Structure 1
Amino acid sequence: MPKKPTKRGFKVWTWCGVSAFVYEMILHHGSPKSISNELALPDRSLKQFGSSGLVVLDLVKDVPVVFAIFIDNYFASTKLIKKLTQLGYRITCTLRSNRTEKCLISTEQEFSKKQRGYYEYFISKDKTCIVVGWKDSKRVLLDSNHAGIEPKTKLKRWDKEKRCRVDIVAPQIINNYNKFMGGVNNMDMLIAFHPIPFKSKRWYSRIIWRILDVMIINSWIIRNSRLCGHNSYSSASHGKFRLFHFKSEIAKFLLTKPNLQIFSTTTVSSSIDVYQSDEENEPPTKTLREARSSVTDVTQYDNSNHWPLFISAPNNTRCKNDNCSGKIYWQCSKCNVHLCLNSSKNCFNEYHTHK
Structure 2
Amino acid sequence: MKTKKWSVKVIFHFTDVALVKSWLNYKEDTKQAGYTKNQVLHLLDFRMQVVEALIRGSQERKRRGRPSADASGHSEHHHRAAVPISGPDVRCDQKGHWPDPQVMTNSPRCRLSGRKAKSQVQCSECKVFLCLKAGKNCFRDFHDK
Q: Deviations over 1:250-308 (max 9, x none)?
A: 12212223442274347xxxxxxxxxxxxxxxx768879563425223212x3523644
Describe the shift of the 1:349–1:227 C-alpha distance in structure 2 as closer, same or farther (beyond 3 A): same
2:53 to 237, 241, 253: 253
Matched, 1:293 2:91: no
1:327 to 118, 121, 130: 118
Contact preservation (8 Å) 1:306, 1:335:
no
The one-letter amino acid paired with 1:261 is R
Matched, 1:244 2:44: yes
Whole-Å separation in 2 of the counterparts to 1:261 and 1:202: 40
Moved more, 285-294 or 323-332: 285-294
TM normalised by structure 1 equals 0.31
Describe the shift of the 1:200–1:324 C-alpha distance in structure 2 as closer, same or farther (beyond 3 A): farther
1:266-285 to structure 2, matched below 5 A, reads none
The one-letter amino acid paired with 2:49 is E
Whole-Å separation in 2 of the counterparts to 1:227 and 1:310: 32
Gaps of 5+ in 2: none
Describe the shift of the 1:344–1:292 C-alpha distance in structure 2 as closer, same or farther (beyond 3 A): farther
Matched, 1:217 2:20: yes
Deviation at 1:353, TM superposition (A): 4.2
Describe the shift of the 1:307–1:293 C-alpha distance in structure 2 as closer, same or farther (beyond 3 A): closer
The one-letter amino acid paired with 1:201 is K
Whole-Å separation in 2 of the counterparts to 1:319 and 1:223: 28
Whole-Å separation in 2 of the counterparts to 1:240 and 1:265: 42
Gaps of 5+ in 1: 1-198, 231-236, 267-282
Matched, 1:340 2:120: no
Matched, 1:229 2:32: yes
1:313 corresponds to which residue? 103
TM normalised by structure 2 equals 0.66
Contact preservation (8 Å) 1:309, 1:333:
yes
Q: Quick one: higher RCO (CA 8 Å, sep 6+), 1 or 2?
A: 2
Bigger radius of gyration among the two:
1
Higher share in helix: 2
Contact preservation (8 Å) 1:252, 1:296:
no
The one-letter amino acid paired with 2:124 is S
| Count of matched residue positions in the alignment of Structure 1 and Structure 2 | 132
1:126-141 to structure 2, matched below 5 A, reads none
Deviation at 1:330, TM superposition (A): 1.8
In structure 2, the residue corresponding to 1:343 is in which secondary structure?
coil
Describe the shift of the 1:290–1:332 C-alpha distance in structure 2 as closer, same or farther (beyond 3 A): farther
Q: Deviations over 1:39-66 (max 9, x none)?
A: xxxxxxxxxxxxxxxxxxxxxxxxxxxx
Q: Deviations over 1:76-125 (max 9, x none)?
A: xxxxxxxxxxxxxxxxxxxxxxxxxxxxxxxxxxxxxxxxxxxxxxxxxx
Higher share in strand: 1
Deviation at 1:200, TM superposition (A): 6.4
Deviation at 1:229, TM superposition (A): 2.0
Q: Deviations over 1:209-250 (max 9, x none)?
A: 1110100111111121122229xxxxxx9x943211211111
